[in-house]
Amino acid sequence: MLLKNFLPNQHVKNVFLIKPEDLKEKGIKAIITDLDNTLVEWDRPNATPKLIEWFADMKKHNIKVTIVSNNNERRVKAFAEPLGISYIYEARKPLTKAFKRAIQLMNVSKEETVVIGDQLLTDVLGGNRSGFYTILVIPVAQSDGFVTRFNRQIERRIMSSFKKKGLINWED
């Protein structure tokens, strides 16, 4: 079933509920994460103090992080560089190339890596098609850019279909 490609392995309210201890228990050594509306609002240029702490906690537990974003170099670099986090911009998710590049950068296997994002049509689909464990988070901001607004309409239809089939049981 094609719709299964859109079904995340896990759903959490935000990245702060993703703990390094839980990831390590699953044998996870690395995170591929989306940027906009996953880590911070799409229009917030820098990481929040709480997010900086989250990254530090991952690092302390030897969990590598790479930001994989469809946004442009200026946006992604300005966010990631001050944090010393590797990144891939203009990733063209859900295409699988950037996901493969990210695990090469981090020198890990896909079995040791989790993909975190706020969109079914880019993050979850791309992660699932590449064979990763995927975690969907609720978007940080209530507003979206133009393309994302269109994607969200499709996502709502897919989610509603999952709920009807009993594939998911969480609330929006």
At residue 91, what is the residue type? Answer: A
Q: What angle do CA 68, 130, 37 make, to 5 degrees?
A: 35
Domains and CATH numbers, the chain: 2-164 (3.40.50.1000)
Q: How far is CA 16 from CA 39, 107, 129, in A?
A: 9, 25, 25
For residue 137, give every residue at least 6 positions away whose Cβ sits within 8 Å of its Cβ, in sequence order, or none. Answer: 11, 12, 13, 14, 15, 38, 116, 117, 118
Q: pLDDT digit of tens for each residue in the chain (172 aa)?
A: 578 899 999 999 999 999 999 999 999 999 999 999 999 998 899 999 999 999 999 999 999 999 999 999 999 999 999 999 999 999 999 999 999 999 999 999 999 999 999 999 999 999 999 999 999 999 887 766 666 777 778 888 888 888 888 877 765 5
Q: How far is CA 13 from CA 23, 72, 105, 109, in A?
A: 16, 26, 28, 26
pLDDT computed for residue 160 by the predictor: 85
pLDDT computed for residue 79 by the predictor: 97
pLDDT computed for residue 4 by the predictor: 84
- Write down the residue that tokens 């859109």 correspond to: 6
Closest CA to 132 of 163, 111, 101, 105: 111
